[in-house]
Structure 1
Amino acid sequence: MKYDPVKDRLGRLASRHPLLQRLLYGILNLLFLRAWYVRREIRRLLGAMPEERPVRVLDAGTGFGQYAYFVARTFPNAQVRAVDVKSEYLERARQFADQTPYADQITWALDDLTDLQSEGPFDLILAVDVMEHIPEDETVFQHFERVLRPGGHVIINTPSDQGGSDVQEEGDESFIGEHVREGYGRTELAEKLRGAGLQPVKSIYTYGPYGSTAWRWLIKWPMRMLGATWASLLVLPLYYTAALPLGLLLNATDVQWDNEQGTGLFVVARRPHDPA
């Protein structure tokens, strides 16, 4: 079994109780290296804004909703619009958020990023592991530019073309499905953003040698175990007792390391201020 069916089944399981959903969010934030980069950048960008000024965030492709929840919980002045094309994802995330103190800070909507109907302006747009699923990526970037406030930012996390989407092993079928492209080149993505009127201000490789090793230990191998048999849930606590400390150390090293190459790409772009 591949990654996506296992992920979806875990999401359905977690939605049965708010405590399980909180546990799922905690596991995602802890194990997935992308969350380390995304959460750090969110804190940097929104933390630099005056606390008294309301800020609007578009979580474009919210999935399980963990980033919408993180923004609302961390920044009381934030209003989040969380959108996705999968109604079941939205409903599960909404049901959980409605049972938290942050329900009034998040609105949920079925919305297609290639025909974005959500109204701006937004101070920040999150597109975390989304663009690799969308063929019409340039159309999406044009919509992002349209709904961003001048001076606003977009955070993009996506596989790179250096083995992203877990296709680094020659002749091995990708463990991750649902991707329309294996990954972006750093220059390619920057050019597409500029073509839409967005100015890249940060572009770094993630999942370098340390992060890629952590991905295999903390995510890929356990997910394959679950794909083979759900009885693996009984042995995974023992597995993580051994693998988790070193895996987290590898993640922390990746975040601090200047990766010359990596299977992930993390980009921050900005909508320039309108000419006076």
Structure 2
Amino acid sequence: MELTFGSAQVYTSERMKKAPLLAKLFHKVFGYTNVGNYARFTIFKKLLKEIPLKQDAKILDVGAGYGEYSFSLAQALPKSEVHSLDIDRERMKALDEAINKSGIHNIHTHCSHTEQLEEKEFDFAFSVDVFEHIAPEDMPFKAVYNRLKPGGYFMVKMPYVTQRTILPEHWFEDHHEWLEEEHIGQVYDLTSLKKRFVQEGFKVVFATYSDGWYSRLGWELAYLGKKLGIVGQMITLPIAKLLIKLDRLIHLNHWGNAIQVIGIKA
């Protein structure tokens, strides 16, 4: 299975839609421009190796946003059935438009909470950096469990409860303020996230840390570069991606700014 990432960005990014030809050229030269999402995808790609996905799998993307992961899986597995779920109507509208423009026919969108989803019998469900935006008591572990087939897999990636930084924290003050408001569910370390899976009925089959020092530095540089404008972004983006790739090669599973757990429905 060959996964690619970011092909939907030219359809969903408001900035890119304003200058589509320039956007496609920029994307061709620099690839995906959101470093945080790029870093998440490199982890997602590694985690999928732990799951025996069938070519015709039925997949649920919980908190799909603009559908980058749904697009990636739908393109890599054209016989699959990918369901993208999110409660944000504007993002679901943008995703529907991207699906129509791309010509991909195996993605189905749902603007609803997981508990309201009528579709069931999924082989695989996943949520990438979504649960930190949800209060722990509202996280849809049980709703996902009830919609999986016996033997179906559920993957959750989210930030570690505390974050380690490199550059002075006051340089990222506005981002920290956003986190305090948005990340109401950033409460788990790896052990407690595994326990939550078990409490909800899953058997944990894989658990790991990710995003060490090099990945963090890459994100910080890209964040500062983006604030400087297009030139700053062009300079820092390749460096940031290189640092993230390096992190994926040498990071040891002792700690990380992100955690991932995969469970199976017994």
Q: Which residue of 2 aligns with 1:126?
A: 126
Give the aligned residue type for 2:193: L
Q: How far apart are the structure 2 equivalents of 1:269 and 1:18?
A: 40
Is 1:262 paired with 2:264?
Answer: no
Q: Which residue of 2 aligns with 1:84?
A: 86
Could you report, residue by residue, the CA deviation over 1:157-185 in whole angstroms, capped at 9, with x for unpaired residues? 1000131799x949956154321133421
Over the residues paired in the alignment, what is the CA RMSD in angstroms? 3.2
Q: Which residue of 1 aligns with 2:230?
A: 233
Give the aligned residue type for 2:243: L
Structure 1 segment 1-276 matched on structure 2, within 5 A? 11-15=13-17, 20=23, 23=27, 26-28=32-34, 32-42=38-48, 45=51, 48-51=52-55, 54-102=56-104, 104-113=105-114, 115-137=115-137, 139-163=139-163, 169=169, 174=176, 176-177=178-179, 178-218=182-222, 220-225=223-228, 232-237=229-234, 239-240=235-236, 244-245=238-239, 247-256=240-249, 257-272=251-266
Q: 1:142 aligns to what SS in structure 2?
A: helix
Give the aligned residue type for 1:39: K
Q: 2:81 aligns to what SS in structure 1?
A: strand
Q: CA deviation at 1:44?
A: 5.2
Q: CA deviation at 1:108?
A: 0.8
% identical aligned pairs: 20
Q: CA deviation at 1:261?
A: 1.2
Q: CA deviation at 1:58?
A: 0.6
Give the aligned residue type for 1:260: H
Could you report, residue by residue, the CA deviation over 1:213-251 in whole angstroms, capped at 9, with x for unpaired residues? 111122x213443xxxxxx124432x23xx624x33321
Segment of structure 1 superposing worse, 168-177 or 140-149: 168-177
Segment of structure 1 superposing worse, 145-154 or 173-182: 173-182
Flag structure 1 segments of 5+ consecutive residues without an equivalent.
1-9, 226-231
Q: Which residue of 2 aligns with 1:5?
A: none
Flag structure 2 segments of 5+ consecutive residues without an equivalent.
1-11
Q: How far apart are the structure 2 equivalents of 1:109 and 1:18?
A: 27
Could you report, residue by residue, the CA deviation over 1:238-273 in whole angstroms, capped at 9, with x for unpaired residues? x23xx624x33321232232231111112211112x
